[in-house]
Copies of this chain bind each other. A is one copy, B any other.
Amino acid sequence: MNKVILIGNVGADPEIRRTQDGRPIANLRIATSETWRDRNSGERREKTEWHTVVVFNEGLCKVVEQYVKKGAKLYIEGQLQTRKWQDQQGQDRYSTEVVLQGFGSTLTMLDGRGEGGGASGGRGSGAGGNDYGDDYGAPAPASSPSRGGGSGGNFSRDLDDDIPF
């Protein structure tokens, strides 16, 4: 288990790079902030934390490319990853990033910008990174009749096979 969940604002328009074979990679800077009140002075104080988010997931990259701009509020779910690199002096350096890459990765816009724009849903919404023109059938139709009810329904979803998360 290696999961990061962020809700925050994008500090600058995303950078989109492409690999040699044309695959997009998006880089985002996300700010999360917390506020508290000083115990002594009673003043409100704030601390902002900045996160680097790297989106390898192609579908999510498309969402980023089309909809995410500086200032957008995002819900992000990814993994922590530290990569090693060498600086100009040849010294080892490490950078830790929140990586969105397939399994368990999500990006949802929370401020209603973007196409159609809803945001309260986890799975969906127009700009939510989960809606690439696919249909994943009727949502969760039913469950075990043995536990008391349920029609049985049609269970037409095929999430394993054809949904590109």
Residues of A within 8 A of B (CB): 1-9, 15, 17, 19-21, 23, 25, 27, 31-40, 42, 44-47, 49-52, 54, 56-60, 73, 75, 77, 79-87, 89, 93-99, 101-104, 106, 108, 110, 116, 118-126, 128, 130-131, 133-137, 139-140, 142-144, 146-152, 154-161, 163-165
Is A120's CB under 8 angstroms from B33's CB? Answer: yes
Instruction: Please report the C-alpha to C-alpha distance between residue A51 and residue B151 in the assembled complex, in whole angstroms.
Output: 21
Given the known interface contacts A155-B23, A159-B56, A159-B102, the answer about A124 and B36 at a Cβ–Cβ threshold of 8 Å is yes
- In the complex, 13 of the A-B residue pairs with CB atoms within 8 angstroms, ordered by the A residue number, are A3-B4, A7-B119, A33-B121, A36-B135, A46-B124, A56-B155, A85-B149, A102-B163, A102-B165, A103-B163, A110-B110, A160-B164, A160-B165
- The 3 A-B residue pairs whose C-beta atoms are closest, nearest first, are A85-B149, A39-B135, A102-B159
Q: B residues within 8 A CB of A158?
A: 23, 58
Instruction: Please report the C-alpha to C-alpha distance between residue A146 and residue B86 in the assembled complex, in whole angstroms.
Output: 13
Q: How far is the CB of A76 from chain B (nearest CB, A)?
A: 9
Is A4's CB under 8 angstroms from B4's CB? Answer: yes
Given the known interface contacts A80-B51, A81-B49, A95-B148, the answer about A122 and B2 at a Cβ–Cβ threshold of 8 Å is yes
